Each structure stands twice: as structure tokens, then as C-alpha cells.
Amino acid sequence: MLAALAFTFVATLLVHQAGRKDSARDPRLTIGLLALTTMLPALIWFLPKIEVLPVGDGVVSTGTSFSWVKLVFAIWALGFAWRTIRLLGAVLTLRGWMRGSREIGFAHGVSIRVCECLTSPVAVGILRKAVLVPPAWSEWTAETRKIVLDHELAHHERRDPLWRFLSAVACAVHWYQPMVGWMARRFVMQSEFACDAKVLHGGVSPKTYARVLCDVAAHVSPSPIAAAMAEKNSLESRVRRMMAAAPSAKPSLSLAVFGLLGLLAACSFAMIARKPLAVKTVLREEVEIRLSANPFPGNP
């Protein structure tokens, strides 16, 4: 657990430093560090260990001793189970949206479907890609429909539903770490900035795009593997960014360096962390029998 806490701190610092001048920097660094955070327990288990501190021969305890390790694991398991149940519930909700929708078109390998229970378009699906649109879709102008569709297709082109699901898994595994939640929220914002930039590069003016975003904005809470076009909690920052003509997020050498540092940090913490030592348990009854036994059984 200490290794996970230490690496999460390093990962958060790298994401913060990468976005110090522009918080919309390439989200691939953020999702990559989130992936390393999720895989850290596996790295700790499989990578060879470097002996930094002397390793003991094990701990001997009685059967009635209190195990703090078991208590901490039980607390973590409860939190993980709760977050996993919430994630599964969100996935089931998404499946319900898909089943209750009807297909009205197809674009670039993505199904366009009308969902009666939605008020804002969302990009959904990892294997079966789809864009779910509200019933008001047919009443929108052709320009609005094109802008909305370009934005949602950009999410699928970037595989954002998959990456958002991965970030939700990371939050479930590390539910006790607020820094992981911060990185997941940063990734969602970065992915929205990236899709906005792609639409604007297609020739749409910032004023027109901002107007469309405000028109279709709705307070929705989609599944972690769905990407809503205009969630109210991110709308203001996105509009301000596009109206300020902020530079689009582009890959750079510094991001590659930050990513390499994150990988080296993950491997280092995994190799320094020691696997749990085997604990030899001695029952109280056995202790009492040994203490009461005759040390010289041959003598009467």
C-alpha cells in the first residue's frame, strides 16, 4: 500500500507539471499514468525485488492476536466492492440505454441511435460503438447535428469510452486515494478539450460551437464508459478556452519524458516493495501444552 501511495503521488505530480502551462495537454500521459497505477499491484507481485531493508525470517504470533493487515484489507475490500457495484450499475444503465434506443443512421463505423431517456448526446460502447442522441435530434438544424456528431465521433476515434472505463477501474481499485480521482477528472476534461479542438479545426467558428454547446447542455450523469458532449460541470471552462483561442493540446518531448519517468517510478516502487512474508501462526492451546509438558519425559 505504501508503494501505491508513493507512486500515486509521483504520478499526480507528473500530470500537474505537464499541465502547468496548459491543463489541456495531451490526455495520453494522464491515462497512461492511471493505467500504471491500476497495474501497480501486479507489478509488485511479478517483478523481481531489490533488497533495500533486511528481510526477516517471518513473524510468529498466537492465534488470538489482532491482525491489522487483515483489518486494512477488509476495509479496502469493502470500498472496492462498493465502487465496483456502482461501476457495474452504470454499465447496466448503459446497456439499458442501448436496448431502448433505435438506430437512425451509421457514420464511420459508429451506429447513430435515438434514446428516449437522454437529453444530451453521448458516445458509448467499447466494442459496439454508438452515439446516442436525444429525441429532439430531428428538430435540430443540420449544422447543429453535424457539430454534435463530429464531437462524439472524435471521442470514438480517440477510444475515450475505453479509457474512461479504465480510469473508473483505477478509481475503484484506489478508492482511498483522492489523487487518483483527481487524475481521472483531469483526463475527462482533457479528452473534452481534445475533441473540442478537433471540431474547431474542422472549420467551425468558436462562437458557433459555443452556442451549440450551450443549446444542447444538460445535467446528465452518464456511465463511466460514456462521454456526454455538454456536461454542465465542464461547460464553462470549455467555452472560455475556445473563446480565448487557447492552443490545442499537442504531443511534445516533455510529455514523453514525463511518461518515461512515470514508468521508471512504477517499476522502481514495485521492485523495492517486498512481498508479504509468510506468517507462522501458533495456537494458544499448543503453547499451553508445550509449557505444561515435562521437559524430561524419561524421568518419573
pLDDT of residue 59: 46
**Mean pLDDT in the chain?**
80
pLDDT tops 70 at residue 8: yes
pLDDT of residue 269: 84
**Global pTM value:** 0.79
Minimum mean pLDDT range among 69-78, 88-97, 160-169, 277-286:
277-286
Question: Who contacts 147 (Cβ-Cβ below 8 Å, separation ≥6)?
Answer: 199, 204, 208, 209, 212
Rounded Cα distance, 49 and 254, in Å? 30
What is the DSSP code string of 125-171? -SSS-EEEE-GGGGGS-HHHHHHHHHHHHHHHHTTHHHHHHHHHHHH
What is the DSSP code string of 86-118? HHHHHHHHHHHHHHT-EEEEEETTEEEEE-TT-
For residue 160, which phi and psi values (nearest 5 degrees)?
-60, -35
Report the pLDDT averaged over residues 61-74.
69
CA-based nearest residue to 151, from 90, 107, 103: 107
**pLDDT 10s digits, 210-227:** 888 888 775 455 555 566
Residue recorded with cell 505444561: 292
pLDDT tops 80 at residue 235: no
Reported as a pLDDT band with limits 50, 70 and 90, residue 283 is low
Yes or no: say if 4 and 170 are a contact pair by the CB < 8 Å rule. Answer: no
pLDDT tops 60 at residue 277: no
